[in-house]
Amino acid sequence: MTQRARGARVTSANGRVRPSSVGSAADNRGRPIGVFDSGIGGLTVLQALVELMPHEDFIYLGDTARLPYGTKSNEVIIRYSRENTEFLLAKGIKLLVVACNTASAVALDEIARATIVPVIGVIEPGAAAAVKASRSGRIGVIGTEATIASGAYTRAIQRLRPRAEIYTRACPLLVPLVEEGWTDNPIAEQTVAHYLGSLKDSGIDTLLLGCTHYPLLSGLIARILGRGVRIVDSATATAAAVRQRLASLHIARRDGLGGRQSFFVTETPERFIRVGRRFLGPQVESAVRLER
């Protein structure tokens, strides 16, 4: 998937993808923020970003033709993530948000080494939020197969709280449930209860939702786990990290014009709009399909 904006170039000698010019902080304030996900789930992160930074422009790319990432090899996830990054860099973004937990877990370091703009994933902010929320240090993490297998959340939590007890569970069926809109029916309840049974028995006091789809199941998850378990997702923490990074680099957009969101997908824009409205509401008015 390659689409280059006018004035952008890709330097291939060392594999780095760069916009044609970086410019001053003042020049960069008006640039958009790029966000990508394997599909639709990253809209929960975009929602938090928009709420916290309403004057910023965002370009969202959902790789709907190749989802889910969670069952693919690390090599494929890294390749797809690089292609998504290239597209967004060609749009002249000032910062990149990797809103996909799987891509953040597997490809974030590769992306950061290959880009000139700041890159923020969802793993570190989510882990920090979970550590802050947990009283006992017994923390559960649920996510896709690739995210859990990577151990990224476990390592991030242990860096912040070395004595934490971390219990993880891959939950591959939750993403399709959410995308079908089955977030509070008997099938969803039975599936969530099946996945969370062992975590509930382990005595966790905090559950980290390690997939951007899962916040749409948070009410059901909270009901199954009971009042004694705090539910944490990475969206709000990631948005706060983005705002802090923009401020530290003096590239945050000042009050005034802005606040637009543009959506691109690699397949089925109609379905993206329909399902995306469950995440973000009527703001998802249209989506442009990319030719790969």
Q: Choosing from 114, 123, 211, 217, which is the catalytic residue?
A: 211
Measured at the alpha carbon of residue 148, what is the angle toward residues 205 and 119, in degrees to the nearest 5?
A: 100
**Helix 101-114 and helix 152-160, axial crossing angle in degrees, nearest 10:** 80
pLDDT classification of 14: cutoffs 50, 70, 90: very low
Q: Choosing from 49, 61, 100, 122, which is the catalytic residue?
A: 100
* pLDDT of the residue at 1: 52
Quick check: is 171 catalytic? no
Domains of the chain: 9-121+237-289 (3.40.50.1860), 124-234 (3.40.50.1860)
The per-residue pLDDT for range 198-242, each reduced to its tens digit, is 999 999 999 999 999 999 999 999 999 999 999 999 999 999 999
| Rounded CA Rg of the chain | 18
**The whole model's pTM is what?**
0.88
Copy the structure tokens of residue 123. Answer: 């793993």
pLDDT classification of 291: cutoffs 50, 70, 90: confident
For the residues 126-153, what does the mean pLDDT come to?
97
